[in-house]
Structure 1
Amino acid sequence: MSAQQTVWSEDLITVAEKSNYQKTSSYSDVMSFITALQKKSDLLQLEYMGTSKEGKKIPVAILANPSIKTPQEAIASGKPVLYIQGNIHAGEVEGKEVVLQLMRDILLGDKKHLLDNQIILFAPIYNTDSNDKMKQGRRPSQEDSPVEVGIRENSQGLDLNRDGIKMEAFETNGLVQNILNKWNPEMLVDLHTTNGTWHGYGITYAPSYHYAGEKAPYDFTWDVLLPEVVKKADENYKVKIGPYGYYSVNKAWPPTSIYTYNHHPRYIVNQMGLRNKVGILSEAFAHDRFYTRINGTYGFVAEILEFTHKNGKKMMSINAQAEKDAIQNVISNAGKAQKGVRFKMVPLEKKIENYRTYDYVPYLNKNGRKSYVRSGKIIDVPNVENLSKFDATVSTTLPRGYFLPKSMKPIVDHLRKQGIEVTELKGRKRATGEVFMVEKLTNARRKFEGHFMTTLEGSYVAKTRTFKKGDFWVDMAQPLTNLAFYTLEPQSDDGLATWNFFDEYLKAQGVDTKAVEYPVFKYYSVR
């Protein structure tokens, strides 16, 4: 990259830049920066995905040339819509600052061409409330760089990156309903900062894990998009990028394997896979200085947008075919195909040829046991396993659809918030299928995100049922068929049953003393 030549007005210099990367932007700083951009470019339209608990509007900047305001205009343009968000965890501030810089450079600088073939939605400050709860020492691994940052959870005490299924946060409702459902972006990029392993990469990445969804968007991301972006980011921004993962020095040194995070769609990147779209997780290396993390995140996102600028139409085609394939699978294979609902992490077939990491020095401690201290040297470790694949441990038969009694209206309302199509019956329908008899309901002993997570055990029993006017019908031949399946299946490891949506009903029916019917009927044929 050549040296920066553009001379900006002071209102287009971010707080991070002005402070020599000692500070990060407040909510008002972000809004002032967006306002300054609006005054200088008519290619930016501003809307809000929702309002936080504390009353802060969550801004979404729509960048397009020519300018657009609505999803209908986006569809008419034929261009892919891409969504990039920062600050889901308000202590991880690189995404917020990078989004502001990229908006400036795309609208007024040397990246204007990025709007030729795509529409970009930027949400710089997703966790608006907690961003401003700044204090020193929030994230020790960042070594007070910047000096003060906000907190991880939102103002409801929720981790916004664990809320994709239960949707209890104000922010999640705004994201799902007013971005994912409304704008239907072809790709989501979620910008984070790691807080652990001393790997040797400036950025690590993960795709949207597809294991209950379609494979094609994942393959395109993993095999085509990410390799090119990694290469270009190194060439143009001098940033080394590698696969996301952790290892333990206590387990083995040098590391023989790294492991990723879970496949669950509670993580918003993973949910994109169930929506037949591309999802990318970006994790800046926490132990780098703030300005280095900024450069890495900027380079990664900029090169993703350069890639989609050239290949966006191809990505749209792959995603559209994945949606068609998911629907056709239901039509052709309902009652026959098996799909996973619970998974375990296993290694990919291909090992990492050279895994980049800081070296560790072994020594014998005073008890005569081998211990390690980290050196300042970066090494390459050959042939490291990458545990970022998920094999099904429990599978179940793919249904043609589901029926829910009218008493399950709260469940239906939740499905509709997710964008899943549900029809209220106007007359009778007779369905042949199965009911799941819950023989055991187990709640976790420890609370997670305010929930004692539920596991249901039992078995399916063949039944024929008649459903009446006012009951609800989920026809699985719909775009979000994979999300509907994963959300409604009783044995799913991240479905509504997991998040206690059915606990009250099942316990009232006496599940503690007898087998109780799960109140979602799974059908294979209907008349």
Structure 2
Amino acid sequence: MPSPFLRAASAALVLAAIGGSASPLDAQQALPRTFQEENDFKAGPTPYEPLMKFWYELDRLSDEVSIRPLTRTLLDRPFTLVTIAREPIANPQDAIRSGKTIVLIANAVHGNEPAGKEASQLIARDLVFGDLKHVLDSAIVLIVPLINPDGGEVRRRTNEEGFDMNRDWLKLESQEIHAIVTQILNEWTPDIHVDTHHGGSAPYTLTWQGTLNPAADRQLREYPYRTVFPAIRRALQAEGYDGFDYSGAQTRDGVRGWGSTSVEARKHHVYTGLINSIGMLFETPSSSHRVRNGRVEAIPQPERYFHQVRGQVIGLRTVLQHAHAKRGEIRTLTNASRQRAIRAGANPTANDGVVVDYTLVSRGTEPVWMPSGPGQDVTYTLQNVPVWLKYDVVRTVPRARGYVLPASIAKVVPLLMEHGIQVHRFTAPTTLELEVYDALGVERREYFQGHYLQAVTGVEKKTESIAVPAGWYYISTAQAKGNLISYLLEPETDDNLITWNYTDNVLRVTPTNVEEAMQALLGDTDLNSLTPEQQAQLRTRAEAMMRQKQRVPMMRVVKPQPMSLLEVTSFNEFNRTRYYQP
């Protein structure tokens, strides 16, 4: 028997969805109900088939809803984009020229984190038939029902390859993230991008994070913290919940407080900030406990999933209401961030440095519900603790006007173009004055996502006259995605082309000591099989190897120079894992 609380709450969601409907249909009979509503939020995450059944039924009932196929997953499930708009939107250009706020809600990149995909169904129904209809006067809403259909069907974090797709936003190796970047972010240029997850710490019902990496536009980074997140917290508290910043309790240098996760550009809410969108991460904690009237109460296991979904509903409703109320302000902000990036690349100044090192610090001491005790016996007390949710810049390098790339790393060109970055090719040989990097060392750091991640351990920078043949490439930073370009092409950032092995053919991993260098030269040969003289010669060669520097293939243009260039365009377009289907 469903609990009275859940029955009432579920009914309230349905009534909210159909309230004020102008549909000529009998809404209580005709409007689609979600799998969760049918099962009182107790049957586990919605499987793929009933999930998509809801979306196609909503599309059938309303001209304001349209569904566009983007690609198919490795297990051949359709991967789709839902568009909800008041006036017909035939293409992304219509959406951009409308002047309306474009909001993208992307759900469940981790297949076992499904509350956002449940909440998005309720939100969509409210947009079309309920009390959010007014939002469509000022906003166009794009929804990816489920980023990870294959993982979601078996409640698995990763995709079918075993990879975390929320670490794929730079390398674009998964079909799903590749489709989002090339067919949604590049074409629609959303003003706001919300990515929904499960995470954070009870007793908070929803936790959040914006783009914290200081390499992104400062005004974009500050905006949600100044406007949207405080409004979400007020909305949660109005329903007896509470929310706070992601992620949870941490101890740093022996001091216990509340802290952030890392902010590499491979993660969606960092990547979206680098491409001039207001990125927001929503993380739904376990809902084992919640704040109620100033105290923390335990939530029975059968009721927890409802609270997780409800937290996402409140967060998404608040974002959409803000997108409606602040339409002009938001578009002005995102447009201005694009222009700032273009100007910074066209005429770099001392204030336009590229952030290559940063550190996590406390933004101050704040009251936070801190957990203590093991397992089911955990308790929560409100404590004033440091909140480590600010990243200070440690070091920058002057922004380049552009980068020259040799043909030896031409494999990066398709990746850059898939990110919506303009690439040019030299049509005639020339000599350019360039800043070049010599790597003092290259190290292999870890095996991750099918890659041995690599990094330079030190560089020497100098200016040289370089003979550039026809066929080499030029990437100007005077582009709207200039911040992303600099992050990818500067060798000292923490997430770049070197990190993801795009330069492995020209930058080899260097030994860390002479003995390791000797073994690298020996291969399978046993050192003891060599004579003392041979060992001495080998050591001399190894010491020379240790001193050898390697030229980094990304070379910087720092002053205007004549160049004969032609824009690179794709010879053809294809989906990376698509094959003929009978």
In the TM superposition, 1:130-169 aligns within 5 A as: 130-133=151-154, 150-169=155-174
**How far, CA to CA, are the matches of 1:373 and 1:57 in structure 2?**
40
> Which has a greater percent of helix?
2
Match of 1:95 in 2: 116
**How far, CA to CA, are the matches of 2:322 and 2:398 in structure 1?**
38
Match of 2:58 in 1: 37
Write the deviation string for residues 363-421 of structure 1: whole angstroms up to 9, x where unpaired: xxxxxxxxx67756543112x22212223344322111101122322111111111111
Of the three residues 354, 370, 380, the one matched with 1:357 is 370
Percent identity reads: 23
- 1:242 maps to amino acid: F
Shift of residue 518 of structure 1? Answer: 0.8
Cα distance change of structure 1 residues 336 and 65 upon mapping to structure 2, 3 Å threshold: closer
Write the deviation string for residues 280-302 of structure 1: whole angstroms up to 9, x where unpaired: 01011124410110111111111
Shift of residue 181 of structure 1? Answer: 0.5
Shift of residue 10 of structure 1? Answer: 7.2
**How far, CA to CA, are the matches of 2:216 and 2:161 in structure 1?**
31
In the TM superposition, 1:230-379 aligns within 5 A as: 230-235=233-238, 237-248=239-250, 256-288=256-288, 289-333=304-348, 337-348=352-363, 350-352=364-366, 354-358=367-371, 360=372, 375=377, 377-379=379-381
Computed over aligned residues only, the root mean square deviation of the Cα atoms, in angstroms, reads 2.4
Write the deviation string for residues 459-486 of structure 1: whole angstroms up to 9, x where unpaired: 1121122323222111111100000000
CA contact (8 A) 1:276 1:322 kept: yes
Structure 2: gaps (5+ residues): 1-8, 19-26, 289-303, 518-544, 563-582
Which secondary structure state, in structure 1, belongs to the residue aligned with residue 51 of structure 2?
A: helix
**How far, CA to CA, are the matches of 1:422 and 1:74 in structure 2?**
26
**How far, CA to CA, are the matches of 2:115 and 2:106 in structure 1?**
11
Which secondary structure state, in structure 2, belongs to the residue aligned with residue 452 of structure 1?
A: strand
- The worse-fitting range, judged by mean Cα deviation, of 317-326 and 111-120 is 317-326
CA contact (8 A) 2:191 2:331 kept: yes
Of the three residues 202, 207, 210, the one matched with 1:204 is 207
**How far, CA to CA, are the matches of 1:162 and 1:295 in structure 2?**
27
In the TM superposition, 1:164-243 aligns within 5 A as: 164-194=169-199, 198-235=201-238, 237-243=239-245
User: Which of the pair has more CA radius of gyration?
Assistant: 2
- The worse-fitting range, judged by mean Cα deviation, of 322-331 and 287-296 is 322-331
- 1:20 maps to amino acid: D
Paired residues, what number?
Answer: 491
Structure 1: gaps (5+ residues): 134-149, 362-371
CA contact (8 A) 1:43 1:107 kept: yes
Which secondary structure state, in structure 2, belongs to the residue aligned with residue 247 of structure 1?
A: strand
Match of 2:487 in 1: 486
- 2:406 maps to amino acid: P
Match of 1:63 in 2: 84
Cα distance change of structure 1 residues 337 and 123 upon mapping to structure 2, 3 Å threshold: closer
- 1:18 maps to amino acid: E
Match of 1:138 in 2: none
Match of 1:14 in 2: 34
Cα distance change of structure 1 residues 282 and 125 upon mapping to structure 2, 3 Å threshold: same
- 1:108 maps to amino acid: F
**How far, CA to CA, are the matches of 1:214 and 1:430 in structure 2?**
34
1:520 aligns with 2:541: no
**How far, CA to CA, are the matches of 1:35 and 1:199 in structure 2?**
35
Cα distance change of structure 1 residues 429 and 83 upon mapping to structure 2, 3 Å threshold: farther
Match of 1:417 in 2: 418
**How far, CA to CA, are the matches of 1:399 and 1:13 in structure 2?**
54
- The worse-fitting range, judged by mean Cα deviation, of 243-252 and 49-58 is 243-252
4+ long deviations beyond 6 Å = 249-252, 508-512
TM-score, structure 1 as length reference:
0.88
1:389 aligns with 2:379: no
Shift of residue 157 of structure 1? Answer: 1.1
1:124 aligns with 2:145: yes
TM-score, structure 2 as length reference:
0.80
- 1:351 maps to amino acid: T
Cα distance change of structure 1 residues 307 and 238 upon mapping to structure 2, 3 Å threshold: farther
Shift of residue 198 of structure 1? Answer: 4.2
Shift of residue 249 of structure 1? Answer: 7.4
**How far, CA to CA, are the matches of 1:198 and 1:25 in structure 2?**
23
Shift of residue 342 of structure 1? Answer: 2.6
**How far, CA to CA, are the matches of 1:373 and 1:449 in structure 2?**
31
